[in-house]
A = this chain, B = another copy of it.
Amino acid sequence: MYKIIVKSNKKSFEIIAIQGQNLLEQLREAHVAINSPCNGNGTCGKCKVKILSGYLPDASQNEAKVLGTKAIEAGYRLSCSYNIQSDIEILLEDGSSQAQILTEGRQRSIELLPIVTKENITVEKPSLSCQTADFERAIGGDFKDSFPNMQLIRMIPEIIRQNDYNISLIKMGTQLLGVEAGDTSKTLYGVAIDVGTTTLVSYLIDLTTGKRLCVHSLLNPQKIFGADVISRIKHTMDTDAGLEEMQSLIINEVNNCIEAMCEETNISRTSIYAVTFVGNTTMMHFLLRVSAKYIGSAPFIPSVTSMLNLNVKELGIDINPFGIACILPAVSAYIGADTVGAVLSTGIYEQEEISLLIDIGTNGEIVLGNKDNLYACSSAAGPAFEGANIRNGIGGVKGAINSISLQSGIKFTTIGDVSPIGICGTGIVDGIAQMLDVGLIDETGRLDMKWKPTTNEQTNIAQNIVVIDKMNALVISGDIAITQKDIRELQNAKAAIAAGINVLVKQSGISFDDIKNVYLAGGFGTYIDIDSALQIGLIPSELKGKIQSVGNAAGQGAIEGLVSLESLSQANIISKKIKYVELSSSKDFNDFYIDCMMFE
């Protein structure tokens, strides 16, 4: 067994491989979505990695041709041509830096036992000495489940005879979902979907291999009824068909995601038999067209939190009509299936070590604990981290300023390296962290209009301190500025998260020292500069050095639910294990919130 340390874009993780295994295959198995358009034929050169240490074979003639002498000398090799012979350290090539890693923080080894399976069988032909009915012939015995799918029973007599009694059975556990004529057992797909308040992320998975084939993201179209869940719940209560409207908006977009992924991969929707969903409790209620009315006000009661399996037709999802939708379980009104999914995929529920999981979206869900105990709370950070309520705030889209430095004048980067059109959450955090760093903001959050530069390079910073809409502000570029109000918004948001962390630490009796790992999840958590997050006090400074980003851990939980029945059953256990700490009735929370408002 060899250890492969994989380095990429500021991230690093390990995978384990056996002598002689192909590197590309191992990276794919570890869900590293490395580019390989030629599918391992050694012709495209996109799967190259830099071997930083360990076995470095001479380059093959082909590698020399595809990669060029310079790259070969620098230690680059094609991962498709590389067989593992020692512990190695590799750098994922920047050219393939779209290479997104599904579980970016922790590596989990999951046995492939998908939520739905396909099996090819040939049943005995009917005769006077074998008069078993068609349905029972297909399922190999009596029907013992709860309610049968009559449509399926109606189709079986023709399907079973179509290919001379050779059929493929699609099952969930022991329950028959569908029957296809002939051997179709090689084509079986699933979709995992994370329904966020702001964004919908979907993954297409090959359920015969567990491989991720494709990712697709869209904005949640419900945003026209408000950026936060409360506004949307209000809409469903104020409008007669509001809830139906919410459902159809999200279902349409789910179908759009699925359509886009099927087009990209050229697979047929009818070979998709399962969709798993995670999302906050309100989003799951809307998806199910279940009233979220009592989620909106104390004592915050959801309609349903159990894991639910539904026929996709019931939801109107366009995959195989015999397919199922599985909604992962939630804990409470504000600890949803997304948090359960994130706890699942980070594996903190099975570790001896104590971990802190922070999933920051519109709400910040925080989970603290280990295999023995899990405490969770949800802190209403508001949508500031997603760019809302910020003067020039936008989501993490092309043209969003996503990092700011004031170390040598005002410098920034944008997503896609294009002209800036606004600032996303990570940019705001970066900008304010930098303003604190250079003393432009004091510990109360006041933007100092009289701030004086100490170096020549800082001159343009001073020039950019202006008054906009009667508020102090720092212009970053053109019309784009960070205002005093933006700073206040961020103070509120970060105070909410930091206070939530403090309450959990206090109520669980766990000390900051006991916490060994801090996982930052969610789109925001993935891209945030960890130093900036510490600088503004979003994360208590005691946790410095323990923090890592884990990407869309919730979405990864949905994928796990798709590829592993064991993970689904763990999700159920997790949902019951988590002790929910209600912050709205917590005096501690208010005290911490006020404390955490300051920058210090």
Contact = CB atoms under 8 A, between A and B. Distances in A.
Interface string A298-318: 111111111111110010000
A293 B128 contact: no
Binding site secondary structure of chain A: loop
Contact of A576 (B135, B142, B289): B142
A157 interface: yes
Contacts of A96: none
A154 interface: yes
Interface in A148-177: 148, 150, 153-154, 156-158, 175
A126 B584 CA distance: 15
A572 interface: yes
A451 interface: no
Nearest to A134: B303
Contact of A332 (B131, B304, B332): B131
Contacts of A109: none
B299 A133 contact: no
A590 to B, nearest CB: 15
Given A136-B304, A146-B309, A148-B308, A131 B333 contact: yes
A534 to B, nearest CB: 33
A153 B584 contact: no
A241 to B, nearest CB: 14
A294 interface: yes
A133 B293 CA distance: 12
A306 B157 contact: no
Contacts of A142: 306-307, 329, 572, 576
A115 interface: no
B302 A134 contact: yes
Contacts of A143: 304, 306-308
B175 A146 contact: yes
Interface in A278-308: 288-291, 293-294, 298-308
A13 B305 CA distance: 52
Contacts of A157: 291, 293-294, 301, 303
A403 B238 CA distance: 72
A150 B301 contact: no
A352 interface: no
A145 interface: yes
Contacts of A304: 133-136, 143, 153
A150 B582 contact: no
Nearest to A582: B128
Given A126-B294, A128-B584, A147-B309, A154 B301 contact: no
User: Residue among A145, A298, A305, A582 with the most chain B CB within 10 A?
Assistant: A305
Contacts of A175: 146
Nearest to A309: B147
A146 B174 CA distance: 11
A41 interface: no
Interface string A324-337: 00000110110000
4 closest cross-chain pairs (CB), A and B? A143-B306, A135-B304, A133-B302, A133-B305
19 contacts: A128-B300, A128-B585, A130-B299, A131-B332, A133-B303, A134-B303, A135-B303, A142-B307, A143-B308, A146-B147, A146-B175, A147-B147, A147-B311, A148-B309, A150-B288, A153-B288, A153-B290, A154-B289, A154-B291
Given A136-B306, A142-B306, 9 more contacts: A127-B299, A131-B301, A134-B294, A143-B307, A146-B146, A146-B147, A146-B175, A153-B290, A154-B303
Interface of A: 126-128, 130-136, 142-148, 150, 153-154, 156-158, 175, 288-291, 293-294, 298-311, 314, 329-330, 332-333, 572, 576, 580, 582, 584-585
